[in-house]
Structure 1
């Protein structure tokens, strides 16, 4: 079944993702061309699936690529992505 045009409730998951991408990435950047857009979206999709916390998963990413920091961990290292638009925090081994 095809999604009807201009009907945001017909595919709520896709609409939610598109809205999140717009708010967190593309609305804050000046996109220069298609190649730049694809690069930004690729970096953001990787961040979204591997590092960004999701409420439905008790603030864990869907496919973590590194161990999740314990709540009591106090030492972290910040790594900027997309020129500092997104910051990733990873625990530092004590």
Structure 2
């Protein structure tokens, strides 16, 4: 149970977007939005499941 709570705490405070001022995460700023249509077409996103798939993290793949 402690492992699950710690994982959720890390996710909530570091990864999850919030509906606060400017949708800023508590520990990090959101990246600049991508508005260039050429970049939007070629997005390569990766998803990482945490806690057996209950939580999902998304990031741009290099």
Same fold (TM over 0.5): yes
Which has the greater radius of gyration? Answer: 1
**Aligned pairs, how many?**
55
SS of residue paired to 2:20:
helix
Q: Where does residue 41 of structure 1 map in the other structure?
A: 5
Consecutive unaligned residues of structure 1, counting only runs of 5 or more, are 1-36
TM-score, reference length from structure 1? 0.50
Deviations 1:28-83 (A, max 9, x none): xxxxxxxxx1111100000000000011132221113xx74443253211000001
Consecutive unaligned residues of structure 2, counting only runs of 5 or more, are 35-39
* Greater relative CO (CA pairs within 8 A, separation 6+): 2
Compare the two structures and name the one with the higher strand fraction.
2
Q: Does 1:79 align with 2:33?
A: no
TM-score, reference length from structure 2? 0.71
Q: Counterparts of 1:1-94 in structure 2 under 5 Å?
A: 37-64=1-28, 68-72=30-34, 74-93=43-62
RMSD: 1.9
> Does the CA-based 8 Å contact 1:52-1:60 persist in structure 2?
no
